[in-house]
Amino acid sequence: MKVRTRVAPSPTGDPHVGTAYMALFSLCFARQHGGQFVLRIEDTDVARSTPESEQKILESLRWLGLDWDEGPDKGGPYGPYRQSERKPMYAGYVQTLVDAGHAFPCFCTTERLDEMRREQMQRGETARYDGHCMHLPGAEVASRLANEAHVVRMKVPTQGTCVVQDRLRGEIEIDWAQIDMQVLLKADGNPTYHLAVVVDDHLMEITHIIRGEEWINSAPKHVLLYQYFGWDMPEIIHMPLLRNPDKSKLSKRKNPTSITFYERMGFLPEAVINYLGMLGWSMPDGEEKFTLAQMIEQFDLNRISLGAPVFDIAKLKWLNGRWLREDLDAAAFADKLVAWAYNRKNLLQVIPLIRERVDVFSDLAPLASFLLEGMPAYDESAFNARGASLDEIKRLLQFVVWRTEALHDWQRDPLNQLFVDLAAALDIKIRDLLGPVFVAIAGKPVAPPLFDSMAILGPDMCRARLRHALEVLGGVSKKQLKKLEKDYALLPG
């Protein structure tokens, strides 16, 4: 059998290491079997998907050397590879299901559904569509379809058990009563993930689906759709989820998750891939340093361990050091370093910010160092240049962390606005707010303008530095955090 795997990221944010993780395993499996690896963009969430995000995802995967055989940028025999461009195809499949009685139009409002779920959970039941629109008279449905917003839901049995075959875990049994009557077609005419993924995996002849453990609970929906359509089910492999040091699912709130962060920190793509490869998987001979090619050669699904691994930056750093020392001679080191930091694109971003402040080139290094550093070595005294107390500084920094977590458009002006708003909400002068933030981001009181610097550094690096600064200043105890959360919730705006 010809093996075909895919990675199917959603372009709704920064390129996530979890995406790279799934891509790595999918690619290794496909390559080892002489098959194809496909990149498909799942942009059915029109409100949150952006072309910029898609672009960054493609660039990041390319940077890592995870090359796909078919994708939106290079086409292929199963295109298009962007779900937004496949939109016209889905309605027909949904109609097939409606005609066969496997799906039905639903007119329920969000309010009613929220209320229903709330009550169900209060009663200790699993939240699940109550079938309200499933048995409407045909005439009523026909008339309402013409003038009312509606979705299409799949029918799901209320009795019996669904058996999901997982290549790593064997048979997983989930009662149908636990499975919601999933919306397949949204009111805006776009398919939901569940419909699109099944249709596309089938049409693209995907044979092995390697995805995160978080999908186990929705696998029955997919199993059922394959049955309804009469299609063969691909093999499913649910990988363990990458975790934060506190064991929760890896998230940007607690850990840098963006691939671009690791690039900006100066990690080598080879080392990042190598590190991802040793999470949940190991070489038969126990060797910890290996290339993508070696991993492909030795790859074996049976060597995957199921415990969800903690993403440990310290070990990644050690591994990167080995790659740097063992694989790069001075010339190669120089080339990589220039490409990383002193490339034209980087310089052109920074030069406009610093040229006013420079008389001779040798003035540059201190001014541009913020861009080349990872976690700056802070001088604690720099934080309270304006006489604020340590607790007050930590409070401000923590608030900034929370505000920036909610910021989607990480650009100069929105950042500017964020600080203006926060200062207003706190009823303090903006310079009193910006002082400590400036030091946290730039590492010292003298550097290019804050918002531009933050825009260049990107969200993950900024958040990491803010958190690092908080640690250096003694950290925030659980108790203090509780109190700060309370204060924060009370802020206007």
Q: Contacts with RNA in 128-187 (CB under 7 A)?
A: 128, 149-151, 169, 172-175, 178, 180, 183, 186-187
Tokens at 359, concatenated: 């008389």
Which range touches RNA (CB under 7 A), out of 118-126, 264-272, 327-335, 361-369? 118-126
Cβ at position 226, least distance to RNA in Å: 17
Q: Do residues 78 and 37 lie in contact, with contact meaning Cβ atoms separated by under 8 Å? A: no
Q: Which residues contact 409 (CB under 8 A, 6 or more apart)?
A: none
| Residue in 3, 32, 33, 45 binding RNA, rule: CB under 7 A | 45
| Residue in 5, 26, 36, 44 binding RNA, rule: CB under 7 A | 44
Q: What is the rounded CA–CA span in Å between residue 167 and residue 44?
A: 28
Cβ at position 220, least distance to RNA in Å: 9
| Residue in 216, 364, 372, 375 binding RNA, rule: CB under 7 A | 216
Cα-atom radius of gyration of the chain, to the nearest Å?
Answer: 26
| Residue in 34, 101, 307, 493 binding RNA, rule: CB under 7 A | 307
Q: Would you give the binding string for RNA spanning residues 11-30, x where CB under 7 A is met? A: -x------------------
Q: State the sign of the Cα–Cα–Cα–Cα dihedral 349, 354, 359, 360.
A: negative
Asked if 436 is part of the footprint of RNA (rule: CB under 7 A), the reply reads: no
H-assigned helices in 159-264: 193-203, 219-229, 259-264
Asked if 199 is part of the footprint of RNA (rule: CB under 7 A), the reply reads: no
Q: CB-wise, 9 or 256, nearer to RNA?
A: 9
Q: CB-wise, 121 or 351, nearer to RNA?
A: 121
| Residue in 26, 190, 404, 453 binding RNA, rule: CB under 7 A | 190
Q: Contacts with RNA in 391-420 (CB under 7 A)?
A: none
**331 phi, psi to nearest 5 deg:** -65, -45
Q: Contacts with RNA in 285-304 (CB under 7 A)?
A: 286, 288, 302-303
Q: Contacts with RNA in 249-288 (CB under 7 A)?
A: 249, 278-282, 286, 288
Nearest C-alpha neighbor of 37 from the set 49, 48, 46, 24 = 24
Asked if 325 is part of the footprint of RNA (rule: CB under 7 A), the reply reads: yes
Q: What is the rounded CA–CA span in Å between residue 218 and residue 222?
A: 7
Q: Do residues 219 and 172 lie in contact, with contact meaning Cβ atoms separated by under 8 Å? A: yes
Q: Do residues 347 and 338 lie in contact, with contact meaning Cβ atoms separated by under 8 Å? A: no
Q: What is the dihedral of CA 340, 346, 347, 350, to 10 degrees?
A: -130
Which range touches RNA (CB under 7 A), out of 51-59, 90-98, 125-133, 393-401? 125-133
Q: What is the rounded CA–CA span in Å between residue 189 and residue 90?
A: 9
Cβ at position 194, least distance to RNA in Å: 7
Q: Contacts with RNA in 459-478 (CB under 7 A)?
A: none
Asked if 308 is part of the footprint of RNA (rule: CB under 7 A), the reply reads: yes
Q: 80: cis peptide before it, omega within 30°?
A: yes
Cβ at position 276, least distance to RNA in Å: 10
Q: CB-wise, 8 or 422, nearer to RNA?
A: 8
Q: Which residues are marked as active site?
A: 252
**Other CB atoms within 10 Å distance of the CB of residue 449:** 14
Q: CB-wise, 135 or 247, nearer to RNA?
A: 247
Q: Do residues 190 and 46 lie in contact, with contact meaning Cβ atoms separated by under 8 Å? A: yes
Asked if 213 is part of the footprint of RNA (rule: CB under 7 A), the reply reads: yes
Tokens at 355, concatenated: 């040229």
Task: Write out the DSSP string of 327-359.
Answer: H--HHHHHHHHHHHTSSHHHHHHHHHHHGGG-S
| Residue in 95, 165, 248, 343 binding RNA, rule: CB under 7 A | 248
| Residue in 32, 84, 217, 291 binding RNA, rule: CB under 7 A | 217
Q: Do residues 379 and 472 lie in contact, with contact meaning Cβ atoms separated by under 8 Å? A: no
Which range touches RNA (CB under 7 A), out of 25-33, 190-198, 369-377, 386-394? 190-198
